[in-house]
Chain A
Amino acid sequence: MVEPSLVLYGALYERALGLLEDTLRETGARYALLTDRKGFVLAHKEALWAPKPPPLDSLATLVAGNAAATQALAKLLGETSFQELVHQGERVGLYVDEAGEHALLVLVFDQSAPLGKVKLYGKRAAEGLARIAEEALAKPSRPNLDTEYREGAKALLDQLFGN
């Protein structure tokens, strides 16, 4: 299976953001992210009251790596996947749920968010996001990235590393 591109923009992106925002309000979680299975952040929202989040790239990469490993574990045990993962620390917890086949919903929460709410509203958000991801896949439009883009990118590479 060649990994399909998830291209999220326009109305779909706004809907995803809206869902993440609702979920933050309903659960009391700090951060909500939609990432693809490769570990790239597709959309994210932070609660206004929450402290500055850790680097989201790192978070998304580790969550995606973890989800991939857990999925491989599930397969070993005869399941297609484990749908939701909860990691609970002393103060902070992490909720990860599949948003369809190609994306993951990540919620970071602390003691102020009841786990029951996180799971309940997390699950519901994941279902909504799965539909959005599905639609985003169905419209695989690509931007007009032409030679000009490639030349520009090459020039930046040279600039960054010296020629």
Chain B
Amino acid sequence: MSTINFANREINFKIVYYGPGLSGKTTNLKWIYGKIPEGRKGEMISLATEDERTLFFDFLPLDLGEVKGFKTRFHLYTVPGQVFYNASRKLILRGVDGIVFVADSAPNRLRANAESMRNMRENLAEYGLKVEDLPVVLQVNKRDLPDALPVEMVRAVVDPEGRFPVFEAVATEGQGVVETLKEVSRLVLARVGSTT
């Protein structure tokens, strides 16, 4: 769970963007990177292939500032979405505090959404975690596609019980990106101290 460094009076949280290949996880992070003022963000690291598909992870450190004397920081990660990169995807989930699941609105990616959610459950289970135990926010991305499926249909496939908060997004234009991050941050923060 969250890493607390008393000496430096720092609290760190790890948030992971999960989802099928090409659903827009890296695009989310890039938008956030562009949005945060200098001084509040570190360097963004992308381990990607030449055609900019994420190979290992993207990483963005975000400084929230000081709260009650504790410097609060979020480390944002994305996973590679492609099915055959599961080994690295699993590594990145290690010690996660909150998850944003980025689902694709395209009709031909509906099954990929479901598959990715199933895969996430399996990977979390290897760390002894259940999706239900973690703050998870569902982002239904690419709402600008002309043939985008209804949000409810996408949701029914990845979150049939309607457990997670849902945000519609067009990550390329920044729509819904910040709202999603704020919500997952709130959920993560809400758990601080409540476990004592």
Interface: B176 (CB within 8 A): no
Given contacts A40-B5, A40-B12, A161-B182, 18 further A-B contacts (CB under 8 A): A37-B95, A38-B14, A38-B94, A55-B43, A57-B42, A57-B43, A61-B59, A65-B57, A142-B195, A144-B193, A145-B11, A150-B189, A150-B193, A152-B67, A152-B68, A156-B64, A161-B35, A162-B178
Known contacts A1-B127, A3-B95, A61-B75; is-contact A150 B192 (Cβ 8 Å): yes
Cα distance A159–B72 in the bound complex, in angstroms: 14
Q: Which residues of B contact A161 (CB under 8 A)?
A: 35, 178, 181-182
Knowing A5-B1, A145-B192 are in contact, say whether A38-B7 is a contact too (CB < 8 A): no
Q: Which residues of A contact B87 (CB under 8 A)?
A: 72
Task: Say yes or no for B131: interface residue by CB 8 A criterion.
Answer: no
CB-CB contacts below 8 Å: A4-38 with B? 4-10, 13, 36-38
Contact check: which of A10, A37, A146 meets B6 at CB < 8 Å?
A10
Question: B72–A153 contact, CB under 8 A?
Answer: yes
With beta carbons under 8 angstroms apart, the residue of B68, B88, B129, B189 that contacts A154 is B189
Contact B65–A156 (Cβ < 8 Å): yes
* Partner among B43, B189, B190 whose Cβ is within 8 Å of the Cβ of A58: B43
Residue B27 lies at the interface, judged by CB distance under 8 Å to chain A: no
- Provide the residues of chain B in CB contact with A41, threshold 8 Å: 5
Is A133 an interface residue when CB atoms closer than 8 A count as contact? Answer: no
| Residues of chain A having any CB pair with chain B under 8 Å | 1-10, 13, 36-43, 55, 57-58, 61-62, 65, 68-69, 72, 142-146, 148-150, 152-154, 156-162
Task: Please name all residues of chain A whose beta carbon is closer than 8 Å to the beta carbon of B67 when the two chains form the complex.
Answer: 149, 152-153, 156
Chain B residue nearest to A44 in the complex (CB): B8
Contact B88 A69 (CB under 8 A): yes
Q: Does B172 contact A (CB under 8 A)?
A: no
- Are B192 and A40 within 8 A (Cβ)? no
